[in-house]
Amino acid sequence: MLQRGLRRWLGLPPRRFAVVEEPAAVPLADGVRLATTLLRPSDGGRHPTLLLRTPYGARAFPPLLRMLGRLLAESGYNVALQDVRGRYASEGRFAPFENEAADGADTLSWIAKQPWFAGRVGLFGLSYLGYAAWAALGRSPVPIDALVVGIGSRDLYATFYTAGVFGLATSLEWAVGVGRRESLPARRLDLARGLQHRPLIEADRVTHHRSDAFQDWLAHPTRDAYWNGLLPPLPERMPPTLLLAGWYDFFLAPQLADHAASTRAGADVRLVIGPWRHGQAASREGRRRDARFAGVLLSETLSFCDRVLRDEPPALRGAAVRAFVPGEGWQA
């Protein structure tokens, strides 16, 4: 009943299938197993597959991810929600960003061997999940047929160093708040103290605990071999790509650069820019903006995936770039 009401509210088509949820442990090349939740159409048939890899807990993640996964499965997609290495129920040690290319590639190899795999696969992600999608794309052992990235980028240097200036608040809050195996609630962080502390090299410890990632970011203030090693290469054949960006999101500039690079690589790219910022909103108006983002995200993603993974006419038509202009609304 809730899902039907949500579909009507978002203007989405009726569901096609009930959803079966089952756990899986995906084995990697080095023997580590990654906890994965499979959401599949109840008919047991072979359907296109979407992979979403998260450090925030496939079961603990804010409802948007599971809501999206269930709506996609109801629409006829196999959806794999996976905890990345060393996070929540997955084995191994978490090293932010470092293992997403290899682990994503191993997971795609596993997916391609499953009896429910129909031969078409897409990568989806928001924020860190978006980077994980880009990373898997660059190393994928199987052809990728669709890429959807919202408020995220493949370029970590441009994300943490805006125009060469270190984004202290964003970097510190994420590096410490992500924790070691599970994310920490904001009430356990003394972020204000950490932001004011000098020298910066001690800010993570003052906020809550030392973060190897934060220390690495501080130690590399220019685009060097460290950052280039974390920049996923574009494949020779870029899949159709959907990028969803926010005017007030710190990922906007690098995401526009991703759009330009994908276009130069010959990709069929759709870009949507809305009046959104990163993270969960604290104000009532912010929550309304987040709800609008969820609606656009779900509508655009379903329409895009139906077009490129199911060869169906798109429910949403328009220009390759669509943006929300304050005072005027959506413009193409």
Report pTM.
0.93
Helix (H) / strand (E) element for 49: namely: strand 47-54
Contact 150, 244 (CB under 8 A): yes
Q: Is 326 exposed, middle or buried (0-12, 13-18, 19+ CB in 10 A)?
A: exposed
CA distances from 126 to 104, 130, 152, 196 (A): 15, 5, 6, 30
SS3 205: helix
In the predicted model, what is the mean pLDDT of residues 164-180? Answer: 95
Largest CA distance in the chain: 59
Contact 132, 143 (CB under 8 A): no
- For 74-116, write each residue's pLDDT tens digit: 999 999 999 999 999 999 999 999 999 999 999 999 999 999 9
Q: Which residues are catalytic?
A: 127, 249, 278
- For 231-271, write each residue's pLDDT tens digit: 999 999 999 999 999 999 999 999 999 999 999 999 999 99
Lowest mean per-residue pLDDT among 19-23, 62-66, 278-282 = 278-282
How confident is residue 61, by pLDDT bands cut at 50, 70 and 90?
A: low
pLDDT given at position 65 = 73
Query: Is 290 or 95 the better-scoring residue by pLDDT?
Result: 95
